[in-house]
């Protein structure tokens, strides 16, 4: 009954309600007679999208590693590894980047809404490690790199961890100022066919002037040799792209495919 009522509501009502619920749950798990659920994602549509992308990687490539920017409690990171193992992607390694203190100050172009706040999604690295341990993560192919991206995403990480080209990235860090250093860092790792999943693509009312959309648009404007193909949409919020590398002498950009 509740489900039918919910489904009958227009998307303009459901979307802000979902956002509000995400914010409330980020601060405090709902009270219930059940023990509080510790290990979860705010976005249940994201793990299936990761699964779909991993199946494509198994079937058509490219081979490479998994990068996640924004782990919260580590659920999507763990799901990615679990699914990759089930699909036989046994040489894929998993790199997780997060402050583990939650969102930074919301400044710059994103300081226009009340949607995100400093400290949202905070979960200490020790707790994330414990949750991943409890759920059987394979640490021999997983690395967590703590820190705010503008400080932690340094080019020398590539050599230190022998990082390989990117097969799949989940970019789930909500904000423009967070996504800019992520994309700059990925410059060294993108290859033809790399899949980028932007979890917060439609935040800020899907405006190109904020958040992940603005950062990706600016990134592509400066790098006309990347022509992304829209790949999958997931939930109300997420959008994936397959990165196509075009010849730099070929200046014709397929505008209808560009975000």
Ligand X SMILES: C[S@@+](CC[C@H](N)C(=O)[O-])C[C@H]1O[C@@H](n2cnc3c(N)ncnc32)[C@H](O)[C@@H]1O
**Total number of residues binding ligand X (CB under 6 A)?**
23
233, exposed or middle or buried, with CB in 10 Å at 0-12, 13-18, 19+?
A: middle
Contact window for ligand X (CB under 6 A) among 53-61, 67-75, 212-220, 250-258: 67-75
Contact window for ligand X (CB under 6 A) among 157-165, 169-177, 211-219, 250-258: 169-177
Which positions from 13 to 52 touch ligand X by CB under 6 A, shown as an x/- string? Answer: ----------------------------xxx--x------
Which residue lies nearer to ligand X by CB, 219 or 227? 219
Q: How many CB atoms lie within 10 A of CB 72?
A: 21
CA dist list (Å): 157 to 38, 78, 126, 161, 163:
30, 21, 21, 6, 8
Phi–psi pair at 257, nearest 5 degrees: -90, -20
Contact window for ligand X (CB under 6 A) among 29-37, 87-95, 159-167, 172-180: 172-180
Cβ pair 95, 66 in contact under 8 A: yes
b/e per residue 197-207 (b: at least 16 CB within 10 A)? bbbbbbbbeee
Structure tokens at 39: 């290990």
> According to the binding rule CB under 6 A, does residue 175 interact with ligand X?
yes
Distance of CA 216 to the CA centre of its chain: 13
Among 83, 178, 194, 239, binds ligand X (CB under 6 A): 178
Among 80, 173, 190, 242, binds ligand X (CB under 6 A): 173
Interactions with ligand X, residue window 138-157 (CB under 6 A): 148-149
> According to the binding rule CB under 6 A, does residue 172 interact with ligand X?
yes
Minimum distance between the CB of residue 49 and ligand X, rounded to whole angstroms?
11
- How far is Cα 216 from Cα 252, in angstroms, rounded to an integer? 19
Among 53, 54, 57, 75, binds ligand X (CB under 6 A): 75
- How far is Cα 166 from Cα 240, in angstroms, rounded to an integer? 14
Among 49, 65, 84, 102, binds ligand X (CB under 6 A): 102
> According to the binding rule CB under 6 A, does residue 241 interact with ligand X?
no
- How far is Cα 65 from Cα 81, in angstroms, rounded to an integer? 11
Structure tokens at 41: 């994602």
Among 50, 54, 89, 103, binds ligand X (CB under 6 A): 103
Which residue lies nearer to ligand X by CB, 46 or 81? 46
- How far is Cα 191 from Cα 168, in angstroms, rounded to an integer? 10
Residues near ligand X (CB under 6 A) are: 41-43, 46, 70-73, 75-76, 98-99, 102-104, 121, 148-149, 172-175, 178
């Amino acid at each position: 009954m509740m489900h039918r009522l919910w489904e009958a509501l227009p998307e303009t009502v459901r979307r802000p309600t979902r956002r509000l619920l995400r914010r409330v749950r980020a601060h405090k798990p709902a009270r219930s007679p059940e023990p509080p659920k510790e290990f979860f994602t705010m976005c249940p549509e994201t793990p299936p999208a990761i699964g779909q992308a991993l199946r494509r990687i198994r079937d058509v490539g490219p081979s490479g590693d998994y990068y996640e920017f924004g782990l919260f409690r580590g659920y999507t990171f763990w799901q990615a590894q679990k699914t990759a193992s089930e699909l036989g992607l046994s040489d894929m390694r998993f790199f997780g980047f997060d402050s583990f203190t939650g969102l930074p100050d919301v400044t710059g172009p994103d300081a226009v809404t009340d949607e995100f706040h400093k400290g949202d999604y905070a979960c200490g690295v020790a707790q994330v490690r414990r949750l991943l341990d409890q759920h059987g993560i394979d640490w021999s192919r997983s690395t967590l790199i703590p820190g705010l991206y503008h400080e932690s995403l340094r080019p020398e990480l590539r050599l230190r961890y022998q990082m390989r080209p990117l097969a799949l990235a989940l970019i789930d860090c909500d904000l423009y100022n967070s996504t800019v250093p992520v994309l700059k860092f990925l410059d060294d790792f993108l290859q033809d066919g790399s899949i980028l999943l932007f979890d917060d693509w439609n935040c800020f009312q899907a405006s190109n002037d904020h958040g992940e959309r603005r950062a990706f648009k600016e990134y592509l404007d400066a790098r006309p040799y990347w022509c992304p193909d829209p790949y999958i949409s997931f939930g109300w919020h997420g959008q994936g792209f397959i990165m196509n590398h075009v010849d730099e002498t070929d200046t014709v950009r397929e505008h209808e495919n560009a975000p």
